[in-house]
Structure formats: structure tokens, C-alpha cells
Amino acid sequence: MKSKLFVPASRPELFEKALNSQADALSFDLEDAVLEMHKDQARQQLNDFLQSLQPESQKKTIIVRINDMGTAWFEDDLQACMVDAVDMINIPKIESSEQMKDFFVAFDKAASALDKPPAILVNIETALALINAAAIAATDRRIAGLQLGLGDLFEPLGIRRYEPATVHHVMLNLRLAAGSAGIYAYDSAYANIGNSEGFRQEAMLAKSLGFLGKTCIHPSQIAIANEVFAPSQEEIDWARKIVESADQASHGAYVLDGQMIDVPFINKAKMILRQIGQ
């Protein structure tokens, strides 16, 4: 899931275009992208579209970002996601493991009739959520990842959104929190659509910190995310060399090209090769 494109659920004319894009995943948004007066209509339009999809022929990961548990739309949004085509539900405004447990009570009730319920992607987008991120991540094995929301996190606190050192600090904290639970971290949106180089630099930073991919809010950002998060040829060659040497090694730790190689490096190499289907 190198790239994930946001699609407002109130814009059904964009649904098919999004399906035909090069994004690995689509995140249909019922939350911030939809005005209150249009919430119910957007939910119905999206549900109709999701019902029309054939999961077995769908190559993209389908995600729905619902409204948070404190809203009047939460339960209806959650129920609308109980469609075979939905791979993942993105839940916003979670700030504690206790809230996460409350979410799963509602989730279990809504998903009771499904053979394969959607996985869960949790937004970390407040100061309290960031402090509690490790506990949130460890709440339930059905949580697939944590997603960073830098706009929601920084703007209310008066923190400069595009300050690289600040972004790096928060990204690292989120990645470690996700890693402590053995799940992935996914990067935030980049609202300055006209600054493609800024998007690229932030995506490169996220990749260097072990993030899975980056959110795109405009189709022009998709190709950049796909390029940045795809393993480079240099990384692929390194991974192949490590895996081949590990197969021939007589010790758990050994030296290759002047570098000590042991289990963490071998696992990383195997992960890179899995990304390219090897």
C-alpha cells in the first residue's frame, strides 16, 4: 500500500476515476470531506457503490474513513462498511485504548454477519493519541496499522506543519509505537498540492523511518508515492545478496562486504523481496 488516495464520499462522480487510478488503495471519506448536511446522502451513495464491487476482481485495497464515535453518524457509517468489498475501516479521533475497546464492541456487533470483517486503521491525530499510541496499537490484533494525521495534530497547537525536524520527531514516535505492537505505520496527507517536491521529501522521510506508504489527496501525488515507497534497484540487489548469503551461512551472525549480518538484516531483506513478489 505505497499510495492511498482520499476520495470524498460526497463525490460519486470520482469513484470510478479513483478505481482506474494508479493508487494501491482508495480511502473513501465520510468524515472531514463531507459537510454535515450531506453525511447521510454520501453514506448511501458510497454503500451503493461498494455493494456493486466484486471483491474477487478488485485489485485495490478499499478503505472507508468513518466519522468518530462521538458523532451521530458513527453507527450508521460503521454499518455501511459491512460490505465484502471493504478491506479496512479507518477510525478517527481515537485517543486511548479504552476508546479503542469501546469501538470494538460496536464493531463486533456490526460485523457479526460477515465471514471476513474489515481490518482497522487507527488515526493518531491529537497530542493525547500520540502519547497513548503504543497502548492503542496493542489493544486488539485486528488493528492493522496506525495512521498519522499531522494537520489535525499540529494546527490546533500552533505547530508548523512543514518543519522537517518536528515532522521527523512525530513520525519516529508513531513508528516506534506501531512497531511495539508489530503493526505498520502509515504517513499523513500533504495538503500543499502544488509543492510536489515537498511531498516527495516528506515521503522519503517517512520511508526512511519505516512507514508503509503515504496518503494522497490529489491524483498528482500518486506517482510520487509509488516511486518513493517502491524498493529501489539498489535495495533489491542488496536484499537478494543478503538472502543468498544467509542460505549459505554457517553461523547466525557473519560478515558480508564489511558489514555484520544477523537476523534483523535478513528479515529486512526478506521483507523487501516480498514487496516485489519474491
Phi, psi for 107 (deg, rounded to 5): -60, -45
Say if residue 90 is in the same domain as residue 120. yes
Say if residue 164 is in the same domain as residue 67. yes
Say if residue 202 is in the same domain as residue 240. no
Which pTM was predicted? Answer: 0.88
Say if residue 67 is in the same domain as residue 139. yes
- pLDDT tens string, the chain, 278 residues long: the values are 999 999 999 999 999 999 999 999 999 999 999 999 999 999 999 999 999 998 776 789 999 999 999 999 999 999 999 999 999 999 999 999 999 999 999 999 999 989 899 999 999 999 999 999 999 999 999 999 999 999 999 999 999 999 999 999 999 999 999 999 999 999 999 999 999 999 999 999 999 999 999 999 999 999 999 999 987 777 777 778 778 787 777 777 778 888 888 777 777 777 777 777 66
Q: Which residues are annotated as a binding site for substrate?
A: 65, 125
Say if residue 10 is in the same domain as residue 112. yes
What pLDDT, on the 0 to 100 scale, is given for residue 262?
Answer: 78
Say if residue 154 is in the same domain as residue 106. yes
Say if residue 155 is in the same domain as residue 195. yes
Q: What separation in angstroms does the CA of 76 have from each of 28, 52, 120?
A: 15, 19, 17
Q: What is the number of alpha carbons within 13 Å of residue 162 lying toward its C-beta?
A: 10
Say if residue 175 is in the same domain as residue 192. yes
Say if residue 190 is in the same domain as residue 266. no
Q: Which residues are annotated as a binding site?
A: 65, 125, 152
pLDDT tens for each residue of 206-251: 999 999 999 999 999 999 999 999 877 777 777 787 787 877 777 7
Residue 76 and residue 33 in contact, taking contact as beta carbons nearer than 8 Å: no
Q: Which residues are annotated as a binding site for Mg(2+)?
A: 125, 152
Say if residue 87 is in the same domain as residue 8. yes
Q: Which domain holds residue 247?
A: 233-276
Cell of 247: 542460505
Say if residue 71 is in the same domain as residue 209. yes
What pLDDT, on the 0 to 100 scale, is given for residue 274?
Answer: 75
Structurally, how many domains does the chain consist of? 2
DSSP letters of 52-112? Answer: H--GGG--SEEEEEPPPTTSTTHHHHHHHT-STT--EEEE----SHHHHHHHHHHHHHHTT
The CA distance from 36 to 15, in Å, is: 20
Say if residue 109 is in the same domain as residue 141. yes
What is the arrangement of strands in the sheet containing 119-124, beginning at the earlier edge strand?
Answer: 184-186, 143-148, 119-124, 88-91, 61-65, 25-29, 3-8, 214-216
C-alpha gyration radius of the chain:
20
Residue 201 and residue 192 in contact, taking contact as beta carbons nearer than 8 Å: no
Phi, psi for 121 (deg, rounded to 5): -115, 120
What pLDDT, on the 0 to 100 scale, is given for residue 20?
Answer: 93
What pLDDT, on the 0 to 100 scale, is given for residue 278?
Answer: 60
User: What's 104's domain CATH number?
Assistant: 3.20.20.60
